[in-house]
């Protein structure tokens, strides 16, 4: 198993764990945490490919990952702000109870 | 594969697992922070020093703290009555397992054609800076706008209720 | 001696009187039409219309007769025809027309004259009746139709007028329709003559099919002129007859009905339910004569194919039917007690004589008796009417008696009529009846009809004497006393009596004017006419027979006047025979059991068929349609509507089911998203394997 494969598998595992958490936990904040974890797994993928790819000197992978970090941070901020606002209205962060958009 | 890699991988995965499984929200965040740290160390192992430090700065320094604040503001430290997992947690688990299976399969499928070790790249901050304002100037500006917008948006969204309701009422 | 078919060359120039000959029947018909528009109470108007129109017709008939007579005196035989096309379909025409020849001229005069006398008589007779407008309207229509029958040159026109005659006789017999007996008699008359008419129509149709025309005379192209006759003779029909004989027999069947010959005679006695003038007009002078006239008209057809001195099948049948009827009816007349019924059976018997005369002796013989019979039978009927009127509507002879003192004028006239009917020497009936007997004696086929006719003469004398004895001799057995009738009724009687006396002299052997006139030959007066072999013997025989009959009857009935309830003198002698004769040989009962019962059964079968089978079929079709409609409704409600509704329902349910996908929960959406990614990735990876 090449190092790259190892990193990729780790990233895949992290991704799945994050997804599992996002799909199963009740609290909205924990869903966001799961999403952060998924994003981080993707970042790891990017860096790994940058490192073991053909042209690391082009910095493509690294740049991608940096931007991803920035965007993730922004998104976390907005998301958490929304959760806080929802909590003010519904007095709960339980996702199971948030089905007002039910068809 | 070196032992360091395995250790770091184990740390990260453990942190991630803990983050998802623990009941106390604050414990989850702390575990998440451990996972972030593990990831940063993995970046360092991958000779992406800037990315690693950026990870520490942004994620651990900002995002995790933000999450903690959010938890505190939403009384997430209290354990809910019905349990922390949703009623249909098994389906979610299965789906996540399926995703892992597919991803793993994809990786292992193409294991033969993946390149081997190459030379260690040397990346200076100067190079990164030059790239940022050179080749990647557009994404940079856009991300700047995005961050500004996100900040303003977050502020508005999370503003205190009275002000928000007054504003809605007068419309 | 069979008279040869008259084959007279028709005049090419039609005289003016022949051109307006159609007015003779048209005037009374128009009078009837106008009369139909009047209210019932206008007796004077109705009578004036009827009598006026018939007088005009008489005038015109006399003109026509004089014209023909003058032609005859000049030695020219007349047959003037005027034809016109009525309907045209494709290449075939249906023509109508009228003919003026000696036969039609004489009958025209007879019908219109006797008719006129009867009309005048009925003014007095029907004085107390409220419905005289209807009466005179019908009588006019009848007279017009009868005159139409006489002048018709086309069998179709003849048939049309024949039917109108039948209709008006129905209307007149049932004139007092509130009486059930009158209504039944009218219906019986109509139905019985109808049976004959069906055969008549068959004969007409057959004739038209064979010869292509229904005109009798048409410049050589008519249906009874020589070319058509030779065509008909060459066509064989069933039972070894030629078409000519078969058609002749069918036409004779019509005459059998109308003239009351043997199987179809049952309506004539019952027809006495009508008023007496009706009986006189219809059953003495005119309608029953129509049958005889018809045979005389189509005589060339009936006599076609006769070998010299021989006879044809048709004429033989006519003779036998006539002779049998003569005897049959005379036997029944012996045992009747109603004054009019005796005369009715007498009419049937005399019509048999006429038919026999036509069959054996030819047109002149039969028609001569027709004319003399018309006068003395009308006289007898009107006399009977006078008697009935004078006896206050009594009709049973056994309740009359001794009227010769109370009603002398009627007695005188009636006596003359009675003697004429019996064939008393030198009266009109004697000459005409002798003509028939002479023809019978010389008939080539058999002598039996001769003996039958002689026996008939005996019976005629017998029953007439019986009737006269009961009515005028003896003593009065009725209720109120009788009185003489008014002049309006007795004057026509006098006229008719004169003719009954004198008319015979135009046909004596010494001066056979009548036969010569009809044939178109000259006639001279010669006493040598009496010298024909066997003629004087025959005259003597008939005189003896008549006297024998009178004396026999006088012995039995004389001046005696038995009580109305006592049995008749003849009944005392031969009660079983009397029973048969009194009940008219049970012919009516026989018909009732066979024909009418069969018809009733047939009507019931038809009703059942109609109700159950045809009605059932239609009901079945309707039921099927109803079922179809119900099925349609079921399908419409359940399948179409239901299908549609169900479809919509399913859509709604499906939509409801699908909307459950929208749980409103983020995690659900996320899961689905992840699943989709897995699936997509799997496909991509699978397809890109090396």
- The per-residue pLDDT for A7 is 93
Cα–Cα distance measured from residue A29 to residue B29, given in angstroms and rounded to the nearest whole number:
10
- Put simply, whether A37 touches B (Cβ < 8 Å) is yes
- Is C314's pLDDT higher than 50? yes
Secondary structure in 3-state letters for C127-187:
CCCCCHHHHHHHHHHHHHHHHHHHHECEHHHHHHHHHHHHHHHHHHHCCCCCCHHHHHHHH
Is B107 domain-assigned? Answer: no
pLDDT tens-digit map of B46-100: 989 999 999 999 999 999 999 999 998 887 656 666 677 877 889 899 999 999 9
Is residue C224 within 8 A of residue C284, CB to CB? The reply is no
CATH numbers and ranges of domains, chain A: 3-97 (1.10.287.3510)
pLDDT tens-digit map of C223-267: 777 777 777 777 777 777 777 888 888 999 989 988 888 888 888
- Put simply, whether B107 touches C (Cβ < 8 Å) is no
- Put simply, whether A60 touches B (Cβ < 8 Å) is no
Q: Which residues pair with C88 in a beta bridge?
A: C93
Which of A22, A24, A95 has its CB closest to that of C665? A95
Q: Which of C278, C68, C273, C286 is nearest to C162 (CA)?
A: C286
Given CA atoms C413, C415, C420, C426 in this order, what sign does their dihedral have? negative
Q: Which of A98, C667, A20, A26 is nearest to B23 (CA)?
A: A26
| Minimum Cα–Cα distance from B89: chain C residue | C667
Cα C77–Cα C80–Cα C84 angle in degrees, nearest 5? 160
Is B88 domain-assigned? Answer: no
- Higher model confidence: residue C498 or residue C566? C498
| pLDDT, average across residues B106-118 | 73
Is B146 domain-assigned? Answer: yes
* Domains contained in chain B, number: 1
Mean model confidence pLDDT for chain C? 83
What's the number of CA atoms in the CB half-sphere (13 Å) around residue C31? Answer: 31
Domain range spanning residue B144?
A: 124-171
Is B143 domain-assigned? Answer: yes
- Put simply, whether C664 touches A (Cβ < 8 Å) is yes
- Tell me which chain B residues have a C-beta less than 8 angstroms from the C-beta of C667: 86, 92
Minimum distance, in Å, between the CA of residue C669 and any CA atom of chain A: 9
Is B56 domain-assigned? Answer: no
Is B41 domain-assigned? Answer: no
Give the pairing of strands C80-89 and C92-100.
Answer: antiparallel
Cα–Cα distance measured from residue C526 to residue C523, given in angstroms and rounded to the nearest whole number:
9
Give the A window 74-93 contacts with B, CB below 8 Å.
74-78, 80-85, 87-88, 93
Cα–Cα distance measured from residue C315 to residue C303, given in angstroms and rounded to the nearest whole number:
7
pLDDT tens-digit map of C370-396: 888 888 888 888 888 888 888 877 788
Cα–Cα distance measured from residue B28 to residue B21, given in angstroms and rounded to the nearest whole number:
8
- Put simply, whether B68 touches A (Cβ < 8 Å) is no
Q: Which of C418, C425, C423, C548 is nearest to C473 (CA)?
A: C418
Burial of C167 (0-12, 13-18, 19+ CB in 10 A): middle
ipTM: 0.91
Helix pair angle (B25-45, A28-52), 10° resolution: 10
pLDDT-wise least confident of B19-33, B113-127, C159-173, C607-621: B113-127
Cα–Cα distance measured from residue C80 to residue C68, given in angstroms and rounded to the nearest whole number:
10
In whole angstroms, how far apart are CA C93 and each of C162, C232, C305? 22, 20, 28
Which residues lie below 8 Å from residue C527, measured CB to CB, with a gap of 6+?
C510
Minimum distance, in Å, between the CA of residue A38 and any CA atom of chain C: 12
Q: SS3 helix, strand, coil % of chain B, rounded to 5? A: 75, 0, 25
Q: Which residues pair with C97 in a beta bridge?
A: C83
- Put simply, whether C656 touches A (Cβ < 8 Å) is no
* Structural Rg of chain C based on CA atoms: 38
Is C667's CB within 8 Å of A100's CB?
no
Is B170 domain-assigned? Answer: yes
- The per-residue pLDDT for C523 is 66
Is B84 domain-assigned? Answer: no
Answer whether 0.90 is exceeded by the pTM.
no
Is B95's CB within 8 Å of C677's CB?
no
């Amino acid at each position: 198993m090449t190092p790259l494969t190892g990193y990729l598998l780790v990233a895949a595992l992290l991704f799945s764990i994050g997804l599992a958490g996002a799909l199963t936990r009740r609290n909205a904040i924990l869903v966001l945490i799961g999403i952060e974890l998924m994003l981080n797994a993707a970042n790891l993928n990017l860096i790994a490919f940058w490192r073991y790819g053909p042209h690391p000197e082009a910095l493509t992978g690294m740049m991608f990952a940096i931007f991803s970090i920035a965007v993730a941070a922004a998104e976390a901020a907005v998301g958490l702000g929304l959760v806080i606002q929802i909590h003010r209205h519904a007095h709960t962060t339980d996702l199971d109870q948030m089905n007002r958009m039910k068809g | 594969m070196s032992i360091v890699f395995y250790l770091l991988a184990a740390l990260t995965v453990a942190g991630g697992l803990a983050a998802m499984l623990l009941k106390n929200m604050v414990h989850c965040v702390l575990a998440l922070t451990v996972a972030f740290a593990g990831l940063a160390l993995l970046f360092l192992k991958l000779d992406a020093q800037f990315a690693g430090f950026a990870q520490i700065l942004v994620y651990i320094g900002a995002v995790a703290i933000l999450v903690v604040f959010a938890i505190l503001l939403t009384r997430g430290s209290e354990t809910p009555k019905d349990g922390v997992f949703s009623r249909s947690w098994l389906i979610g688990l299965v789906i996540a397992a399926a995703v892992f299976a597919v991803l793993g399969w994809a990786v292992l499928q193409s294991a033969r054609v993946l390149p081997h070790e190459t030379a260690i790249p040397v990346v200076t901050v100067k190079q990164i800076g030059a790239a940022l304002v050179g080749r990647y100037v557009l994404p940079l500006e856009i991300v700047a706008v995005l961050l500004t917008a996100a900040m303003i948006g977050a502020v508005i969204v999370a503003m205190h209720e009275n002000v928000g309701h007054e504003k809605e009422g007068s419309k | 001696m069979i008279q040869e078919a008259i084959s007279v060359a028709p005049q090419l120039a039609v005289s003016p009187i022949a051109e307006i000959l159609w007015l003779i029947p048209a005037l009374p018909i128009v009078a009837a039409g106008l009369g139909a528009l009047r209210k019932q109470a206008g007796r004077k108007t109705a009578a004036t219309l009827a009598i006026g129109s018939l007088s005009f017709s008489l005038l015109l008939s006399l003109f026509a007769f004089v014209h023909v007579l003058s032609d005859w005196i000049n030695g020219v035989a007349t047959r003037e025809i005027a034809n016109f096309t009525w309907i045209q379909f494709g290449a075939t025409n249906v023509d109508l027309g009228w003919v003026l020849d000696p036969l039609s001229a004489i009958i025209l005069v007879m019908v219109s004259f006797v008719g006129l006398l009867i009309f005048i008589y009925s003014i007095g007779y029907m004085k107390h009746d409220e419905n005289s407008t209807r009466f005179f309207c019908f009588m006019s229509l009848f007279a017009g139709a009868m005159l139409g029958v006489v002048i018709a040159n086309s069998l179709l026109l003849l048939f049309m007028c024949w039917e109108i005659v039948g209709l008006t006789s129905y209307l007149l017999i049932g004139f007092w329709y509130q009486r059930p007996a009158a209504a039944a008699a009218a219906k019986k008359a109509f139905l019985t003559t109808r049976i004959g008419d069906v055969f008549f129509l068959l004969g007409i149709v057959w004739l038209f099919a064979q010869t292509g025309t229904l005109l009798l005379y048409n410049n050589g192209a008519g249906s009874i002129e020589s070319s058509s006759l030779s065509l008909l003779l060459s066509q064989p029909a069933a039972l070894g007859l030629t078409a000519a004989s078969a058609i002749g027999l069918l036409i004779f069947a019509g005459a059998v009905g109308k003239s009351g010959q043997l199987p179809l005679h049952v309506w004539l006695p019952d027809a006495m339910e009508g008023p007496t003038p009706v009986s006189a007009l219809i059953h003495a002078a005119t309608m029953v004569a129509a049958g005889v006239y018809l045979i005389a008209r189509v005589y060339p057809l009936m006599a076609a194919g006769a070998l010299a001195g021989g006879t044809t099948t048709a004429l033989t049948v006519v003779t036998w039917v006539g002779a049998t009827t003569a005897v049959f009816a005379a036997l029944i007349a012996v045992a009747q007690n109603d004054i009019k019924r005796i005369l009715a059976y007498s009419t049937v018997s005399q019509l048999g004589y006429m038919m026999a005369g036509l069959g054996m002796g030819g047109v002149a013989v039969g028609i001569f008796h027709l004319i003399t019979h018309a006068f003395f039978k009308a006289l007898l009927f009107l006399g009977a009417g006078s008697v009935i009127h004078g006896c206050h509507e009594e009709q049973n002879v056994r309740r009359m008696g001794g009227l010769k003192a109370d009603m002398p004028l009627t007695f005188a006239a009636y006596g003359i009529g009675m003697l004429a009917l019996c064939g008393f020497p030198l009266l009109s009936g004697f000459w005409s009846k002798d003509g028939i007997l002479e023809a019978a004696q010389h008939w080539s086929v058999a002598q039996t009809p001769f003996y039958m006719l002689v026996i008939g003469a005996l019976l005629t004398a017998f029953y007439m004497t019986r009737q006269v004895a009961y009515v005028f001799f003896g003593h009065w057995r009725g209720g109120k006393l009788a009185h003489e009738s008014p002049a309006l009724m007795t004057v026509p009687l006098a006229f008719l009596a004169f003719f009954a006396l004198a008319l015979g002299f135009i046909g004596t052997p010494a001066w056979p004017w009548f036969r010569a006139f009809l044939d178109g030959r000259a006639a001279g007066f010669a006493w040598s006419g009496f010298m024909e072999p066997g003629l004087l013997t025959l005259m003597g025989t008939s005189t003896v027979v008549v006297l024998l009959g009178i004396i026999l009857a006088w012995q039995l009935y004389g001046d005696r006047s038995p009580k109305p309830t006592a049995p008749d003198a003849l009944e005392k002698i031969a009660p079983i025979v009397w029973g048969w004769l009194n009940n008219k040989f049970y012919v009516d009962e026989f018909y009732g059991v066979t024909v009418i019962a069969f018809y009733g059964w047939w009507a019931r079968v038809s009703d059942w068929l109609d109700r159950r089978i045809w009605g059932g079929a239609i009901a079945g079709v309707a039921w099927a349609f109803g079922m179809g409609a119900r099925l349609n409704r079921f399908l419409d409600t359940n399948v179409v509507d239901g299908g549609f509704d169900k479809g919509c329902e399913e859509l709604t349910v499906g939509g409801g089911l699908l909307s459950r996908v929208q749980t409103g929960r983020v995690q659900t959406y996320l899961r689905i998203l992840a699943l989709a990614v897995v699936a997509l990735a799997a496909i991509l990876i699978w397809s890109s394997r090396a």
